Structures are given as structure tokens and as C-alpha cells.
Structure 1
Amino acid sequence: MTFQAKKQLTTLLFCISAGFGNLACADTAKLSLPDLETMMFSQSPALRGAASAVDAARAAVDTARTIPNPQIEVMNGNRNPRPGNTSPTGTLKTVSLTQDLDMPWHRFPRVDGAIAGYNAAQANERAFKSDILAQLRLRYYDLVRRVAENRAVKEDVLLMEGIHKRIALQVETGEKAKFELVKANAELLNAQKMHESSVLRVRQARGALRALVGIQLPESFEVQEQHHVFARPTALNEVRAEVMNNNPELQRTRAERQQFDRKLSEEKALRFPKFSLRADQDLDPEWRSKRVGLAMSVPLWDWRGGPVGEAAAKLSQSTNELAYQELSLVQSLEAAYQQYDIANAQTVALESGIVRHAADALRIAELAYKAGEKSFLEVMDAQRVYRAARNELITAQFELASAWAEIERIRATTP
């Protein structure tokens, strides 16, 4: 067996054993953005917590629809005559039944308020999904950016190492002054420092993405750096109308406003009397009596001034928050569209000519330097121009992805 075959067999055995240990091979751990989205939506504890809040709101609707239970009272005692009284001695027993009546002016506002709370919980779940999906996309593209920066810095380090070796050799042979080597050392150290910083930023970005997806994501995961094509968003006027109708944050605030409105109606309805049906039966040695009647709670002293005022204030607060939220969402949408247009224009300009021309200029400068026609400083100038253009392209691509993610968040598009 050749050495290459042994090496391949060893790698395969390692990947198989790592799979049994809930690890993944480096080749199989590369995940795309849809893979990460599916993993997060299927196993995220935060999303399960939002779903539990919806279940709680659904249970609150059932609670609001519940009819009050009857109250049964049973009392036993003895009957002893006074001295000189000839009434017989015996036991006394009283049975009473009380059923509170759930009056329509109390029941309907309570149930409608609970339904509005359930709708608010559902809208809050959708809004939370949109927010956490936008965070995932931002952290994914941030990791892609950091990996691209790290790869670019590695290229700079390799270039500087080659130039440094060439200058060191020329200094030893007396072709260059030692000052050239000092400048090359400084440039090499600067490139190595930037490489160390880029490695830390990659590690931080990977940790942030894993913290959002969950611990089920292996620590050694890698992302597929596939080029994402961001299609031109729909016209702003159409998206604005869509957002005003379907945005879950607005739907949540509107449902909360309806809930406060129903709460105000409920508090006002509590000023009306409450009624209960009551039936009693008394048993003693001589008589058996039955009584049926209607009990009424009269709001004589408590007119619910405090609760009504509190509900009215919350309703007013919710109305103002809704108006502010509508304006804020429209402004955020317009800002995201502007950021998308700016980043898209920068990306197209950098990809179509600026970066390519800067790379060609650096390659020509390297060849001329090797031929002795260019100086070390001219190569460094060309490298700085190329590095700046390349970093601007990486940043513009990330800003384009950020603007796209923000537009999708406001539109509340989820898988």
C-alpha cells in the first residue's frame, strides 16, 4: 500500500470514528445558510420558548371562556329545646347551592380580550422568528466576511514573506542596503499582526453564529462560502403596503391595542351588578323548607375608578406606540433600500473594474520588482491600493447582505 493510500485510509477512519463520537469531518461539516436556518428552527430553545408563550395565550382563551363553578354548602347541627319547651330534640341540616351567572356584558369583553392576547402572542412569535432569522443571516455573512478577510491577509503574509526573503538575500550579497531589510521586516510584522487579528475575528464570528444556532452545531463546523445572488427587491411602494398589512410587529401592537380596548370595556362592565342563583333547603325534626332566589352584587361604593383609568391609559399608550411603530418601520424600510442601493453600486463598481485593475497593477509591480525595474516601496504602494480595494469589496458585499437581511426582516419572510 502506498503512502498516499495509507493517508487516505487514515483520514477515512478518523472521520468515521468522529461521526460515532457526535463529531463531524471537516468536509462534511460545511454548512450552507439554508442548512443553518433549518437547524436553528428545528432545535432552537428560544423558538421553543416563543411557541410556549403562544400555548399559554391559547390556554388563557380557554380560561376566559370557562363558566364559573357552582358553590355547594352543607351545614349540620343539633336542635335542643330551651327549658320548659316541649319541642322535640333532633338534628338540623342545611344544604345551599349558589351558581354565579356569567353575564354577557362581563363575558364578551373578557373572551374578546383573551382572543386578542392570543393573536398578539402569535404575531410576537412571527416577529421573533423574523428577528432571529435576520440575526442568523447577519452572523452567517459576518463569518463569511471574516473568513474572506483572513484568506486575503494570508495572501498578504505569503507575499511579504517572499519579498522579505528576496530582500534578505540581496542584503547578504550587498545588492541592497540594510535599510530595505528593516522596512521589509516592518511590513512583514504588520502583515503577521493583521493575520493574527483576522484569526481572532473568525473565531469570534464562528462562536457568535454557534451561540445563535445552538450547541447541536459542532465546534469544528465550516460554512460554505457560496456566492449569494441578492435579487433586486420589489418596488418600495409595494413592499411598504405589504409591510403595513403583514408585518408581525404591527400586527402584535394592533392586537395588544385591541386587548387593552377589550380590557377597558371589561372594567367598565364590572360597574354593572353581578347576579347569582341561590337555592337552599333546611331540614329539622318538624319542618322541611326550600328556598330559591336571586343574589345581586350592588356596586355601591367601588365604581372601578382606578382599574378603568389604568386600562384607558394603557389603551392610549398602545395607540401612540402603534403610530410611532408604523412611522419607524417605514423609515427603517426606506433606509434599508437606500443601503441596498449604495452597497449594490459599490459592489458592482469594485467587482467590475477597481479590484481587478488593482490586482493587475500589483502583479505587474511584482514582476517588475523581480526584474529589478521597480523598487520595494512601489510594490508596497501597489499592494496597499489592492488591499484597500479588496477590503472595500468585502465590506460592500457584507453591507449588501445586511441590507437584504434587514429588508427580509421587515417583510417578515421566514422559511
Structure 2
Amino acid sequence: MKTTTTLVLTASLAFALPPAQAGTAAASAPSAAAAAAPPAAARSPADTFSLSRLLALAQSTNQGALAAQAGVDAASAAVTSARAYPNPQVEVLYGRLSGRTAGVASGSAPTYAITQKFDYPRQRSLREEIARRQLDATQAGRQAWRADLSARVKQSFYETLRRESELAAAREDLSMMRQIHARARLRVDVGEAPRYELIKAETELLTAQKTRQAAQLRVEQARAALRQHVGGAMPADFALSGSLGDAVALPPLPRLREQLGSESAELAQRRMELERARLAVDYQRSLRLPEVSLRASTERQPDNTVTQVGLVLTIPLWDRRSGPVNEAVAQAAQARSTLEAREFELSQELETAYHQMEAAQAQVTALESGIVRQAESALAVAESAYRFGERGILDYIDAQRVLRSARGELIAAQYELQLAAIQIEKLLSTVPSTPASTGLQ
């Protein structure tokens, strides 16, 4: 309430002053509003989130991250299962011996037997190696998922910063259009300008109001998406600490290609799956060997005891495991083709993201160093000319529209630059706790 009063009084003073002083008083309106609003430092530190804090929070509280870790734990338990020896089988049979001839004792005749299956050393080693490759693939998949989560959080972070920058620009444009509208009304009332200038100013004012409302809606949508990616631990009311203008390094493309081949978690996962499939082929072929078990039994009769020790063999006479072997061979070929395809696809995606990064960097440099400054200078000249009656309101509004467009292009280019850097980090499967620039230096 106090802020609104300050703005109204400042604007009124601006229109009451002579033309040379009106611009100074009007320019002081945003400063007065900023002074009346609570400073950023007054906000509770718990409600202000930097990018590194958001990334750490997402990795620790996001349910998907917890599910990925549970998958790694399950794969680790599978390694323990693969190392286990087969359990022995114990048989206990109860019987009774009844003598039908003289001299043959009658009584109970229980039988006890134990059977122990033997593992071929080669089979057991292959089974353990398959489980270990599955564990490595699961760990690489978890790393890839974490990198994807970091990319989504960072994209939402910079998306929110972009929408907040657009909202700030829309509010500034609305404030300026209100001043233009008030000046046009004053000039029309005193007869210094035709009425169409007021009509034009009213139209532009309505457009600025609609733009501000749309920008506010986009900010709310971006903030909701950011909370969705971070998790429920993030409060609904929060502030962000960061800037769209964070510097982004440009490493050489050959170096990035080398890092892609050696650091990409997705490619590492595909390689582990290929090795696992190849080991599965050897394992299925090893199962063609006869299964060997050692069996020992004892039968206690009323007048004697019968003890037996022998081997139990499962002969692969009818089932030569040709089906499982062929299936494993096909799965290995599929894994190899998938790996080669993903290597090519990721290489192309990296090259595309790198070129997008270069183009966005060039666009940001051009806008910051020339176009925006020229648009600001043109607006200042048009404002002075309009104030002294040398130009009409249309020239003033056109200059203001050009500046608005240039600022919007700069915000979009800065966002595209960050987006390209985030895509490169995602391809490299890096999980940084700092802005996008640090992962590429």
C-alpha cells in the first residue's frame, strides 16, 4: 500500500513539473518503488535458493533419485546371489520292513539321503561376471538419470530466471506506457496534440497491461515446474539467486568429443550391457555340459545298514539349449547395434548443441554490445524530441517498442546459451552443483 502511494505521487509530480524536469522525476519512480519494497537481503535465507542448492536438494529428495539408488542396491544384491553355492538337498524317508519268512526281522527301515550339486568353476565365474556387468550398467544408468535430473533442474532454473526477467521488463514497459499515456492526455487536454495520440497511447497501454499479465502467468508456470523437478522439500514461496548472464565457456569441440566417449554414462551403460550380453552367450553354452551332483544315502534295516555313495548326472540328450544360446547371440547383436547407433546419435547431438551454443553466444554479444545500447539511445532521443514537441507520440512509442523487442531478444538469447550448455553437460553426464559454466571449463 505504501509503495503504490509513492508511485502515484512521483508520477503526479512528474507531470506537474516543466518538461526538462519531468523526465528526472519520472525516472525516480522505479527507485522509489524499490526503496519502498523490502530488500532482497531481508528475505529469509531459507527461502532463497541458488542453483547449487537446488541441485543438491533435488539429488537428495527427488523420489526418482531414490528409486535409481534402490535399483543399484538390487543389482548389488544380485552379485551376492550369483556368488552363492547351491544348497544341498536332504531326503528323509520312513519305511517298515516286514519279514515273510522265518528268521527275517521286522521293524522300521528309515532312509536318509543328501545330494549336493556341483558348480563348474567356469559357470560360476560367468554367472558372477554377468551380475557384475549388470551392476555396472545399473550404476551408469543411475549416473545418467542424475545427469538428466540436473539438466531438468537447471533448465527450469534458467527458465524461471528468464520469465522473471521478462516480467521485470514488462513491468518497466507498463510503467513507461503509463507515463506516456499521462503525457499524451495532458497534451491533448491543453490542445498541444491531436486526440489520435491519446487513442494510440491508450492502445499501447492496454497492450502493455496484457503483456505484463501474460508474463506473470509464465513466471508462475515456470516456478511450478521448478518445484516439480526439485521435489516436495522446496517451499511454494521462494526466491532464486542467479543470473541469465552467467558466463559459459566454450571448450574445443574435439575435446568434448573425447569426453563424450570416455565420460558419457549412457554410453558406459550400453557398453556394460553389451559385455553382459556376450558373457550370457558363453554362459548359455556352458550349460550344455552335464549337471553333476554327489549323492550319499543310508538305509537302516532292523538287522543291517545299507550305505550308498554315487553321482547324479543330467545328460543333455533332448535339450541341447540351442534356443537359449541363439537368443543370447541375438541379444548380443542387438546390444552391439544399439551401442553403435547411440554413439553416432550422441555425437551428432553434441555437435548440434555446440553450434547452437556458439550461435547463441554470438547473438548475446551482438545484442549486449550494440543493438540494446542503440535502442536505448534511440529511445532517449525520441523521448527528448517528443518532450520538446519535435516528434510525435508515434515515434516515441516506436522507439520504446524497438527497445522492448531488443531486450526480449537478449533475454531469449541468454536463455538459449544456457540451454545449449546444459545440453552439453547432459550429454557428458556431468552432475555439477554449480552453474552450467563450471561444468565446461
User: Normalization by structure 1: what TM-score?
Assistant: 0.91
- CA offsets 1:185-233 (integer angstroms, 9 cap, x no match): 2111111111111001000110111111111111111111336533423
State the partner residue of 2:283: 266
Q: Output the CA distance in 2 between the equivalents of 1:342 and 1:272.
A: 62
Is the 8 Å Cα contact of residues 99 and 276 (structure 1) preserved in structure 2? yes
Task: Name 2:381's counterpart in structure 1.
Answer: 364
1:30 is aligned to 48
Residue deviations 1:229-260, cap 9 Å, x none? 33423221122112112211110000011111
Output the amino acid matched with 2:116: Q
Structure 2: which amino acid aligns with 1:129?
R
Q: 1:43 to 1:228 in 2, by over 3 A?
A: farther
With over 3 angstroms needed to count, the CA separation of the structure-2 counterparts of 1:350 and 1:322, relative to structure 1, is same
Does residue 323 (structure 1) correspond to residue 350 (structure 2)? The answer is no
Correspondent of 2:359 among 328, 333, 342 = 342
Match of 2:430 in 1: 413
How many residue pairs were aligned?
393
Question: 1:278 touches 1:292 (CA, 8 Å); kept in 2?
Answer: yes
Q: Aligned in 2, Cα 1:378/1:402: closer, same or farther, shift over 3 Å?
A: same
State how far apart, in whole Å, the 1-side matches of 2:245 and 2:69 are. Answer: 31
Contact 1:143 1:202 in 2 (8 A): yes
Amino acid at match of 1:356: R
1:131 to 128, 143, 148: 148
Structure 2 residue 289 is matched with structure 1 residue 289: no
Please state whether the residue corresponding to 1:374 is helix, strand or coil. Answer: coil
Q: Quick one: distance in 1 between partners of 2:328 and 2:118?
A: 24
2:138 to 121, 127, 134: 121
The 2-side partners of 1:190 and 1:407 are apart by 38
Looking at structure 1, the residues matched to 49 and 393 of structure 2 have their Cα atoms a distance apart, in angstroms, of: 42
Using the alignment, how far apart are the partners of 2:324 and 2:210 within structure 1? 64
Which of 46, 71, 76 does residue 89 from structure 2 map onto?
71
SS of structure 2 residue aligned to 1:300: coil
User: Where in structure 2 are the equivalents of 1:219-298 lying within 5 Å?
Assistant: 219-226=236-243, 228-298=245-315
Q: What is the one-letter code of the residue matched to 1:391?
A: G
Q: Could you say which residue in structure 1 is the equivalent of 2:80?
A: 62
2:439 is matched with: none
Q: 1:27 to 1:162 in 2, by over 3 A?
A: farther
SS of 1:159 mapped into structure 2: helix
Show the counterpart of 1:400.
417
| Contact 1:98-1:277 within 8 A present in 2 as well | yes
| Structure 1: distance between partners of 2:49 and 2:384 | 39
Distance (whole Å) between structure 1 residues aligned to residue 361 and residue 125 of structure 2: 53
- Structure 1 unmatched ranges of 5 or more: 4-14, 16-23
Q: Percent identity?
A: 39
Residues 236 and 334 of structure 1 are in contact (CA less than 8 Å); yes or no, is this contact kept in structure 2?
A: yes
Inter-partner Cα distance in structure 1 for 2:194 and 2:106: 130
- Alignment match, 1:8: none
Structure 2 residue identity aligned to 1:411: L
Letter in 1 for 2:60: S
> Which residue in 2 is equivalent to 1:42?
60
Could you tell me which runs of 5 or more consecutive residues in structure 2 were left unpaired when the two chains were aligned: 3-37, 433-441
Residue among 407, 410, 415 paired with 1:390: 407
Deviation at 1:35, TM superposition (A): 1.4
Question: Contact between 1:230 and 1:404, CA under 8 Å: does it hold in 2?
Answer: no
The 2-side partners of 1:202 and 1:357 are apart by: 28
Q: Per-residue deviation at 1:181?
A: 2.2
Cα distance in structure 1, aligned partners of 2:383 and 2:187: 16
Aligned partner of 2:223: which letter? R
